[in-house]
Structure 1
Amino acid sequence: MSRSVSIASSSRSGNFLKRALIGWALAAAMILADSVSAEAEAANPKYAGIVVDAKTGNILYSENPDRLQYPASLTKMMTLYMTFEALEAGRISLDTRVPFSTHASAQAPTKLGVKAGNSISVEQGILGLVTLSANDAATALGELLGGSEDRFAQMMTAKARALGMTRTTYRNANGLPNTAQMTTARDQARLGIALRQHFPQFYGYFSTRSFKFGKRVINSHNRLVGSVRGVDGIKTGYTRAAGFNLVSSVQTDGRSIVGVVMGGASTPARDNQMRKLIATYLPKASTRGGPTNLIAQAPASQVPAVAAPKVAAADVDLPHSGPVPDTRYEVAAAAEVAPTSEVAYAEAPSSKSANPLLSARVVAPATEKVAAAIPTPAPAYVPEEQGDTSVDDVTTASTKQSTVAGGWVVQVGVSPNQKAAMDLLDAAKSKGGKVLRSAKPFTVAFGDGANAVYRARFGGFDDQRDAVNACKALKKAGVSCWASMQ
C-alpha cells in the first residue's frame, strides 16, 4: 500500500513538473515572440518611430522621424485639438449639438452610424473619436467648426504650422485615404505633447476605455490604456497605405514621455513595439522639468489665412445656453480664433543621443479667422432600434452629480476620476479668491463606473453676468473655464 501511494505521489509530482515546464516554455515563447515581433517591426520598411521626454523635449529614441507617412486616424488628434480649442474659447460647449450632413453620414466605417439630418452632442463626438475612431463624427465636428470639411482641413493645416508641425498637411478631418494628407512621427509627437499641455482639462477623455451610445457599448481601440502602467492615451490609426499607427502618452513615477509608432505591420506588432519603447526609454526620461509648457503661444499674426465661408443670417442660430463667449451678442458671423501656438522646446544637453525636438522657429504669414456661427441644431440622434425621439435616451451614459446646482455654472475642467476633478476645483478656488467665495463646487460624472469622466464645476451664480465675470477672473488667474447653463 505504501509503495502504491508513493508511486501515485511520484506520478502526480511528475505531472506537476511537466505542466510547470510547459507553462514556463509557453511564457518564454511568448516573451521571445514579442521581442521578435518588436524587432521585426523596427525592420519594417514602412516603420517610423520616436520617443520624446515630455518634460524636457529631448529625443530619447528616433528612427525615420521626419519621413513623410500617412497619418490615418492620428488625424483625429488634430480634429480633437481644434475641438478642445473651440471649447476653451467658448465657441461651443460639450452639450452643443453636432449636426450630421449627408457627407458626414456617408463616411466609411468605422463610424457611429448617425443618419443625415440627426445630431449628437460635442461630448458624444469626442468620445466617439477617442474610442471608436468614428469617421462620421470627425467629419461632422469638422463641418461644425469650419463650415465645411475642406475649410476645416485648411484650419487644421494652419494649426499644424503654428504648432511647429512643418511637414504635416491635412485634407480631411478623419484620416481616411488621401494621398496629399501626410505627416511625420516627429510632428505627431509634437501634437501629442500639445494636447496634453494645452488642454489638461480635456485630456482625460483620451483614457476612456468604453462608453455607451444608445444601446451600444463602444470599446476603445487603444489596447495599451489599462494594460500598460502609466499609459493614459492617446490615439490609434490604420489604413492599408499607412499601416498601423499609434501615439502613446505615459506618465508615471515622475517621468513623462510621448511615443509614436507609424507604419506598423499589424496591431500586435505595433503594440508590442510601443511596449518595448516604453519599457526601454521611460526609465531614461527626466524626473525634473515642468510644469513649464514646452509649447509656447505664438502671435496670431503668424497663422496662415483661411477664408471664412459666407453664412446667411438666416442660417445662424447661436445657442441659447452653453458657454458664453465675451462677444456672443456683438459678433454673429465670425470671431477670432484663440491664439495658436509655436513649438519652443528646451535645448537638449550636448549629446548624440539627445536632441531638441525642434531646432528652428516656425514663421507663417497672415492671420486666421473662422466662423463662429452655430448651425441650427438637427434632431437628436436616436439609434434605430430604440424608435424613440427622447433626447435623454441618446446620452452616452448616466449623469450623476455630487452636488446638485441649478442655474448658471462655471466649468473648470474634466478629469478621469472624481478625486482629480475635486483637485481641479480646489486649485481653482484657491486662485479665484473672492469671485468663488460663495460658489458651490461640485462634480458631474459622465459615464458608468470605471469608464466615467468627471466635470469639475462651480454653481450658485445668480445669473449669466455673474458666471461670465467669475470665469473672466479665473482666466486672468490662469484657470481655463467657461460659463454655461446647468
Structure 2
Amino acid sequence: MQQGHQESSTRIFEQVLIVHYKARQGSSYVQRLAYAFLALALGAGINVAEAPMAAAASKQAAIVVDANTGKTLYSSNADAQRYPASLTKMMTLYMLFDAMASGKVSKSTPIPVSAFAASQPPTKIGFKPGQTISAEAAILSLITKSANDSATAIAEFLGGSEQRFAVMMTNRARQLGMRNTQFRNANGLPDPQQHSSARDLALLGVALREHFPQYYAYFSTRSFSYRGRRIVGHNRLLGKIQGVDGIKTGYTRASGFNLVSSVNTDGKKLVAVVMGGSSTPARDAQMASLIAKYLPAASRRDGGNLIASRKNSKVEVAALELPASDEAPIPVQREQVEIQQPAEVVTAYAEPAAAQSPAERILNVPAPEPKAEIGEGDVDEVDPVTTASASPGGWMVQIGSTGSPEDAKTLLSKAAAQVGGPIAGLSPYTEKFQKGSTTYHRARFAGITSAKAANNACAALKRQKFNCFAIAPQS
C-alpha cells in the first residue's frame, strides 16, 4: 500500500512539473497560475491532472470466457467490485425463468404493477398502479427497454417485496458461484451497496444459456410491440456482429456503460463482459474488439454444462427480518436492508461433486460449500415464488383460497387490476395449506399497516364483488 501511495505521489509531481514547464513557455500570468497549482497539488496531494482519467479507469473491467470450456481468454479487473446497473436485470430474469421452468409461472401469467413499481424512474414502460403485464411481455420489456417498472413488478410478484426479492437474488448468486455480488434491488438503480464483478456476470451469462435454453432466445430480441407501441432495444451489437445473440446493456452515472455479450457461431461460444465504458460507442467498440480478437481462440469442443443448475439443489432460505411495508424505499434513495454475508445465509445443497467443475476450476470460482441441511418440509407451507419462504408481517387481507398457486395468483392479479388505487401499494402473497388430504392456496394482499387500512382495503375489494376478510398480525 505504501509503495502504491509513493508511486501515485510521484505521478502527481510529474504531472504538475509538466504543467509548470509549459507555463514557462507562456505568459507570466499563466506561470503564476501554474505555481499556484503546483503549491496546491503538492500541499494537498490532489492529482488534478489525472482525476478524470483515474475516475474513468476506476470503473473499467472486462472478461472474455469460452462458454464451451469455461476457460478465461482475457481478463482485466475481472474480480473488482463494480456497479452492475441494469445488468442486474439478468438475475431478475434468471429468477423469473426459474419460476417458469418449474411451472409456477406461465408466459401469460399477469403480473400486477403496484404504485411503488409504477413510480420507478426511467427507463420504464409507464404503467399506472393496478395495471398488469404478462410474464412474457415483462421479459421482453427488460431485455429491450430495460424497463425499471417491469423489473420491480417482477420482484414484488416473485418475492412479495423488492427487498425480499433482492435477498433471493443474492442467495441465488451465491449458489451459482458469484462471490463478489450483492443485490439490493431488481432493476439496478443506484444503490451504493449493490455490486458485482465482470467475472460474476460472466458466470451468470453462462448460467442463463445453460439452465434455460428454452427461454434464451428472448435475449436476441431487438424490438417488440406492446399496447400499440414498438419498443426498440438498446443492444446495438445484435445483428451487426456475427454470432452475437444477447445479452444485456446497463448504465448509470456511477457504473459507466456496461455490456454483457454472448456469441454463438460455428460451434464456438463466448460470454464477454465490458464494464465502465466512457460512452455507448466506446463500450460497443471495446466489446467488438474483444470478440474479434478472442473468438478465434475459442474451442468448438462442448464440455457440457459448466455451472450446476438449480435442479441439483434444494430451496434456500435467508434468515432476515423484513422492513415494515410503510417504510418502502423511494426509487433512488433506497432503504438499507441488512443482508447477511454468504457464510450466514442458510442454504441446502445437494451433495457436492467430488471434483470441481471446469468452470469452477478454470474461472477460479470456489465450489459452494454445503450448508446445514434444511428439509423441504420445513418451508413447505410457504410458496417461495411469492414469499421467499417467510410470511410477511403486518395486517393482511384474504380474498380467497384456490386449488392451485396459479389460480391464486390469477385471482390476485384480477383484483389488483379491477380495484386499483386502494390496494395498488400492497404486496400480492400466496400461502399453501393442507385441509385433510387436500392442498389449497390462500390468495392474500400483505403489507398493511393497521386494522383501519385492512378494513378499507376489504371495503374496496367488496365493492368490486371480491370476497375479503382482514387478518391481524401474528404475534
1:79 to 67, 89, 92: 92
1:377 to 413, 434, 437: 413
Post-superposition Cα deviations, 1:393-427, rounded to whole Å, max 9, x if no partner, equal xxxxxxxxxxxxxxxxxxxxxxxxxxxxxxxxxxx
In structure 2, distance between residues paired with 1:74 and 1:268: 18
The offset of 1:197, in angstroms, is 0.4
The offset of 1:296, in angstroms, is 1.7
C-alpha change, 1:178 and 1:378, in structure 2 (3 Å) is farther
- The 5-angstrom pairing of residues 3-14 of structure 1 reads none
- The 5-angstrom pairing of residues 117-266 of structure 1 reads 117-266=130-279
C-alpha change, 1:284 and 1:171, in structure 2 (3 Å) is same
The offset of 1:301, in angstroms, is 5.2
In structure 2, distance between residues paired with 1:286 and 1:170: 33
The offset of 1:42, in angstroms, is 13
In structure 2, distance between residues paired with 1:379 and 1:136: 20
- Whether the aligned pair in 2 keeps the contact of 1:68 and 1:167 (CA below 8 Å) is yes
In structure 1, distance between residues paired with 2:123 and 2:55: 28
C-alpha change, 1:127 and 1:344, in structure 2 (3 Å) is farther
- Whether the aligned pair in 2 keeps the contact of 1:48 and 1:261 (CA below 8 Å) is yes
In structure 2, distance between residues paired with 1:157 and 1:307: 13
In structure 2, distance between residues paired with 1:138 and 1:75: 10
The corresponding residue for 1:363 is 369
In structure 2, distance between residues paired with 1:42 and 1:50: 20
C-alpha change, 1:287 and 1:96, in structure 2 (3 Å) is same
Q: Which has the higher helix share?
A: 2
In structure 2, distance between residues paired with 1:205 and 1:340: 33
Instruction: For residue 295 of structure 1, give the secondary structure of its aligned residue in structure 2.
Output: coil
Greater shift, 178-187 or 369-378, is seen at 369-378
TM-score (norm 2): 0.61
Post-superposition Cα deviations, 1:117-148, rounded to whole Å, max 9, x if no partner, equal 11010001000000000000000001100111
Matched residue count? 311
The corresponding residue for 1:295 is 307
The offset of 1:288, in angstroms, is 1.1
The offset of 1:223, in angstroms, is 0.4
C-alpha change, 1:59 and 1:304, in structure 2 (3 Å) is farther
Greater shift, 246-255 or 339-348, is seen at 339-348
Structure 1: 5+ residue stretches without partners: 1-39, 311-335, 349-354, 383-486
Instruction: For residue 204 of structure 1, give the secondary structure of its aligned residue in structure 2.
Output: helix
In structure 2, distance between residues paired with 1:164 and 1:100: 32
The offset of 1:344, in angstroms, is 5.1
The offset of 1:377, in angstroms, is 1.1
Post-superposition Cα deviations, 1:424-478, rounded to whole Å, max 9, x if no partner, equal xxxxxxxxxxxxxxxxxxxxxxxxxxxxxxxxxxxxxxxxxxxxxxxxxxxxxxx
- Whether the aligned pair in 2 keeps the contact of 1:97 and 1:120 (CA below 8 Å) is yes
In structure 1, distance between residues paired with 2:321 and 2:352: 21
In structure 1, distance between residues paired with 2:280 and 2:412: 40
In structure 2, distance between residues paired with 1:179 and 1:167: 14
- The amino acid of 1:118's aligned partner reads Q
Instruction: For residue 205 of structure 1, give the secondary structure of its aligned residue in structure 2.
Output: helix
Instruction: For residue 261 of structure 2, give the secondary structure of its aligned residue in structure 1.
Output: strand
C-alpha change, 1:276 and 1:172, in structure 2 (3 Å) is same
Instruction: For residue 78 of structure 2, give the secondary structure of its aligned residue in structure 1.
Output: coil
In structure 2, distance between residues paired with 1:337 and 1:226: 42
In structure 2, distance between residues paired with 1:340 and 1:74: 31
The offset of 1:359, in angstroms, is 4.2
Structure 2: 5+ residue stretches without partners: 1-52, 324-346, 387-404, 419-475
Instruction: For residue 113 of structure 1, give the secondary structure of its aligned residue in structure 2.
Output: coil
C-alpha change, 1:46 and 1:307, in structure 2 (3 Å) is closer
> Superposition RMSD on alpha carbons, in Å?
3.2
- The amino acid of 2:71's aligned partner reads N
In structure 1, distance between residues paired with 2:130 and 2:348: 28
- Whether the aligned pair in 1 keeps the contact of 2:348 and 2:370 (CA below 8 Å) is no
